[in-house]
Amino acid sequence: MTRVSYKTTSSTCPSATTSVSKYLLTHTNNHPLTQPEVVTNNKSILDKTGSFMKGISYSAFNIYNIYLRLFIIFLCLLTAAIMPAFGQQAAQPSATDSVTKAYLQLKLYHQFYSQIDAEQRWTYFPADTVIRPGQASDLIYGIRSNLLLTGDLSATQDLATNTLDSLLVKALAKFQFRHGLTTDGIFGNSTLQAMNVPVSKRVEQISINMERWRTYTGVATQPYIFVNIPDFTLQVIEGDSVALKMKVIVGKKTSKTVLMQSEVKYIVLNPSWNVPQGIAAKEILPLLKKNPHYLTDHQMRIYSKQAGQRTEIHPDSVDWQSMTPANFHYLVEQIPGETNALGKVKFIFPNEYDIYLHDTAQRGLFSKTVRAMSHGCVRVEKPIELAAFLLRNDAAWSAKKINEFIAKGTESTGIRLRTPVPVSINYFTAWTDNNSQLHFRNDIYNYDIPVTKPALSSLTSKKIQAD
C-alpha cells in the first residue's frame, strides 16, 4: 500500500470557514435529525475545512484545496443572502427554516463527496478484514486516510504508525457512531462494510435524501413526535431542542412501517390487544397446534363472531388440529398484563393502516442495533416517559398517577389528550446533526432509489397489519 505524505499549507479563508460553520450550527437546533447523542469534541468537515486545508494537503491536493476554498466562498455568499430570513426567527425557527438548513447541509456534503469520488481518494479494504485495538496492519494507513477525509481523525495526530492506537480507536468510534454502528473502535465486519460502500453510492444516497428534504413539508406545530425508521429512533421536538429521545422497533421488511403524518389523540394505559386476523391465523394457530394451552398461558381469550356479536368460547372446545388459516375465523384478544404484546401503554393516532406507538413485553430487543422486527407498529423504548410528557399539562395524570394506574395491571383506561400532538414517521438514510456531522444509515426497506424515479409515491399504497 502506498504511504501518504503530509505537509502543512496556509489557509486563505479562515473567516469564511468560520461564517459557514456558525451559520450551520446556529440553524441546526430545531430539526429532529440534527441532535447529537454521545459524541463530543468532534469537529465536522465543515468546522475542519480550514484545518483540513492546512494540515492534510496531499501532494495531489492542490487543485482540491482551491476547489474547497472557492466552494466555501460561494457558501459564504449564499449564507449572507439567506441569513436575514433566518435571523428574523432565530428564537423560534420554523419548520421551513429547518428543512432549508437540512437541505443546504446535505448539498454541501454532496459536493464534498463528489469531489472525493472524482479524485478517487477513498481507500477500500479486503473482505473479512478485522483489526482490533493495539493490532498492527498496513491497512491502517488506508483507514487513517479515510478518517482524515471524513473529519473523524485530526490531521494533527500521529499519522506514521500502522497500529490501531487509542487515538485511531476514538476516531473509528466516531465513524461508527455516524453510521449507527456499535462504537467499539474495532475495525470489524460492520465497520468494514460501511467503509467499503463506494463513494459514488454515498453521493447518490445524499442526493436521494436531499430530494426527501426538498419535498418534506415539516411539522409546524410543537411539540411533535419525529420517528426516523432507518435510525430506529423517536424524538419529541419542542422549540429548538429534543425534549425526549428513545430507541424504537419498526416493521420488518415483510411488514414495513408506513410513512405518514398524523396526531396522537389518545393514550391507553394497560391496553388489551385485539390480535389482527392475519397474525392470529398465520402465527398463533401453529402455536396452538403445538400447545393447546397457548392462549391461557399468554392471557388470551378467543371469541366466535355471529351476526355482529362476539361470544367468548373455551379454547378446549375447538379442534385446533383440523383448523387451517383459511377457516380460522375466531377473534383473539390478549388482556392487559405482563405478557401483553402492547406492553403498558399504547398511543393512538388516526390512520388507515391501524398503526400506532406502543410499549412491548420484549424489552431485550432494544439492545439490538438493527431493530426492524415488528408487524408494522412502532414499539417505543420509554413509553411511560413519553406518556408523562404528552400528559404533562393534565393535572389528573402526573407521572406518579400514570405509574400508580399501570401498577393495577389488568385495569385499562383511555385518556384523550387535551391538545393532540403531531406525529411524523419518516425515512431518512442521510442527515446532519447539531455538530454538522454527516450520518448515514442502511436502507432497510430498499427505498433509496435514484431521484429520477418516484422515490416515495408508492410507499403508503398497501395496508399492513399492526402488532
The residue annotated as part of the active site, out of 13, 31, 298, 377, is 377
Per-residue confidence at 70, pLDDT binned at 50, 70, 90? low
pTM: 0.77
| Assigned C-alpha cell, 237 | 421536538
280-293: average pLDDT: 91
Grid cell of 349 as nine digits: 393516532
CA-wise closest residue to 151 among 188, 108, 97, 118:
108
Check whether 264 has a pLDDT greater than 90: yes
Under CATH, to which class is 219-272+338-426 assigned?
mainly beta
C-beta of residue 276 within 8 angstroms of C-beta of residue 332: no
What are the residue ranges spanned by the domains of the chain? 14-210, 219-272+338-426, 273-334
Q: Which of 264-273, 351-360, 424-433, 443-452 has the lowest mean pLDDT?
A: 443-452
Q: What is the pLDDT of residues 97-155, one digit of tens each?
A: 677 888 999 999 999 999 999 999 999 999 999 999 999 999 999 999 999 999 999 87
Q: Where are the beta strands (DSSP E) in 207-254?
A: 224-228, 233-238, 241-251
110 part of the active site = no
**What pLDDT is attached to residue 86?**
31
Task: Choose between 432 and 450: higher pLDDT.
Answer: 432
> pLDDT class for 54, splitting at 50, 70, 90?
very low
Catalytic residue selected from 27, 31, 358, 375: 358
Spatial CA neighbour of 69 closest among 131, 146, 139, 14: 14
195-199, 242-246, 317-321, 354-358, range with the lowest pLDDT? 317-321
Residue 219 banded pLDDT, cuts 50, 70, 90:
confident
Q: What is the mean pLDDT of the chain?
A: 80
The CA–CA distances, whole Å, from 212 to 101, 102, 359, 428, 429 equal 13, 10, 29, 8, 10
Q: What are phi and psi of 13, to 5 degrees?
A: -140, 55
Give catalytic status of residue 377 as yes or no: yes
